[in-house]
Structure 1
Amino acid sequence: MTDLNLEFNYPEFILPAINSNKHFVVVPAGRQVGKTYNFAQWIIRETMRLNCPSLWVDTVHTNIDKYIERYFKPLLRPISSYCDWNAQKKILKLPRGYIDFGSAQKPENLEGFNYKRAVLNEAGHILKKDSLWHNTIMPMIKAEDNQTRIIGTPKGQNLFYELFLRGLANDPEYESFQYTVYDSPYWSAKQIEDVRRKTPELIWKQEYMASFEAFAGMIYPDFKEEIHCKASPERKVTDIFFVSLDPGWEHPTACILAKEDLEGNLFVIDEFRESHLHVGDISRYLQSMLVRNGLKEEDIEMFIIDPSGRKTDQTSGQSILFQLQEEGWGFVPANNDLMPGISRVTRMIRENRLFIDKNRCPLLVEEIKNYHWKEFNDGSYGMNPTPYKIGDDLVDTVRYLCMARPDYFEHPKVNMYGQLEKEEEEEDVDINDTIDDMMSGDSLI
């Protein structure tokens, strides 16, 4: 349709996937690499060239409307008077041919047609259910003259991953390409570095490097019950203990008791998680937790609390932190820096230095296994991933604890007979004598 002055421009890196003549071309790509825009160009070009019916499948209907406004209409502006978009029926009529749009949200509206060209957008999301591919999409694109582009950012190792592997295994019908943010002209080196610094490793690999990770949104995918759930070893005199607290009201109050051994291993040995606890209730729960573990307050190396505990309560006019301190508990505010905290917990899990007594802390084990990133409607985790904020009370206390102990706590020392060494008592120094020595020059060498 050169007489209509419709031109298509593709970045160099994506041309092999655009120009492939395979039946199924699988393209996992990182965020904002340009996959949706460039394959919108491809399906317009092919539909008009062949004067054929084509298909575009997306996650939800709202995404279809968004792509029509942001991509298709601008691309078709030079020939807009020859085009028609039916928003209700989701059909885009071109000067030659037309494109049906449908969503995985309503697969029943997709059935019953045959198409020569198709794009499955956000395949990592829409192919989470194999049935959409086998029962609905495949019958419509099975013809030998069909070409289908299967594009998206990976979402775990689902059917999208299986189809990608077919393209790598020299299946005659498949060809696979993989593009990361480093391939894209839409990213600057500084932008990549900024996002890389702020993003957890697994999300970076999946969302930006188009890697098929098995974690499917879990924040601590390396946590394995068979490895990280075990009873705490018998107490030794060199062990040190920590209490980490996340106070709440409607949001439950959560607390863990943990010990660290000489090798720097952390063992979470007790927990409680209850709603509607007043400060007096929290104090009693803390005391009970210490008693049942044979501990006293002076045995605890550090009491750590969510820094939001410093906020003034409107009813009492005092902060929870202050009230607990008034009760005699020596809490200090935690470091609540989210991403560094998650990274530190992840490191300890990967290094097999964080363990949980499942029999005594079943609620914490449940929370860790269900702790995941908040996912948006388009299947992404956003530019600044955040955890889904339900059922994360105890996992937050673990993060506070790991951030509070950056490998510098000294453990009690024992002599060759296994007895505790006594600390040398420091001599009392009269500050006036020190000042006199300095003024007389006696302290100078």
Structure 2
Amino acid sequence: MTTLIVRTKLLPYQVEPADDWQIWWYVGGRGIGKSWRGSSWIVKQAIRYPDTEWAAIGKTWGETKRIAVNGRSGVKRFVLDNGLEPLLLGGKWSKTSFTGSPGDMKLTFANGSIIHFASADNADSLRGLNLHGAWCDEVCFWPSESWKVLQFAVRETLPDGSPPRTIATSTPDGENWVWETYVRDGAVKGVAWIGGGTGPPDTPPSTYDNPHLDKQFVEMITREYEGTEWGDQELRGLFVTRRGAIFKGINVAQHTRAGACGRRDIDNPTEWDTHPSRPGFVWPTPGTGRTIGGQDLGTVHPSAFLIGAWVKDVLCITGEVVTPAATETEWHGEIRSLLAQWEPTTIHSESASPMTTNAQRTERGMPIQLTRKSAVSVESSIRSIQQLLRDGLLVIDHAACPVLWKQLRNYKWKTDAQGNPVKPEQPVKSDDDAVDALRYLVLGETSGNGPVESSDDSPLDW
């Protein structure tokens, strides 16, 4: 193994995970250095481990040549800019070290290591490779078949005993096969994500996190796309919920404390919790504003409890508890700290567990207000939440309420075999405990005057 010292200053999210990972999903917004991280990583691996084989793979042959090989952040630029040519076969980037023929494009090092260049547009072209590792660029836009074939090729143990490794750099592409395989069901063994966690961070590295980008470019792109679905994907690096989604328009910029309340201004922390479009708005703290709760009691599924606070006409969701709880006593132990901290004046709860809610009322002195549970109430509460989100009147501390945030983004209508919502529209009853708690909270708060008004009688396509 060769010790290589290349002095590059990494941003915190660019640091390689410490654990014994096999796949590193380096997924985030545009301009966070994905291609540079991929090319620098694979060159260093080829130099560090003599007589090993690697692959750098783009979505198409054109992208492989234009980005992975010759791009400003590609392999060639990294080798030349860091004085690594003497480590190539023949001592420089030439026909001796680099073969440029499509189908047999490769870079050979003096230590016997090789980086093969390939493309994902033909899965069968990846067969026959026998690799210690790979850099895969814009993987979220690959055909899933190409990824599967590659996984069988990355199979050689590294000389120091480490497992074969793949770095996958990409902007997300909605809830496609990557999301279904590596995100939807939680952590996957051997898989690390950007930032070092076992799953994608709630707030992935975004366009705003790279201090080297042109400021005027960032300002322009923010004006155009901030607060849109496209902006959430391309700028913020989020897996955007799409077809069948009930809350299509939910986004970080408008609907989270971090986005809507100016948390990007880290140099001016006193302004973090003010709403830029609502003068006088300040994020609630215990003892300020009217505080309420929402509760969904589970039997076979988890129970969920939310704390909300009204600041003028904005409903702020400030805390959550989502956990299995077999008895009322166990459940009270889970939510006790939130109750003590926020002291809600009303708790809107489902009515399907009378033994628990009666005990909460009589023995705990909790201000339980039962909310009706019917098909009509489900539709009404969904419409009310949609309206609040559309008007920017529902803001969530998604760092304190990660389960609610994830469930809102994944909350979908039931669909038929063709993927179209069934009639009458019904939400999928799965992983919705925190959403149900929010529905009871919102329905309880609006039931006196009916649901929040919307522009027509059809479910909001928002």
Q: What's the TM-score once normalised by structure 2's chain length?
A: 0.43
User: Whose radius of gyration is greater, 1 or 2?
Assistant: 1
Q: What's the TM-score once normalised by structure 1's chain length?
A: 0.44
* Structure with greater proportional helix content: 1
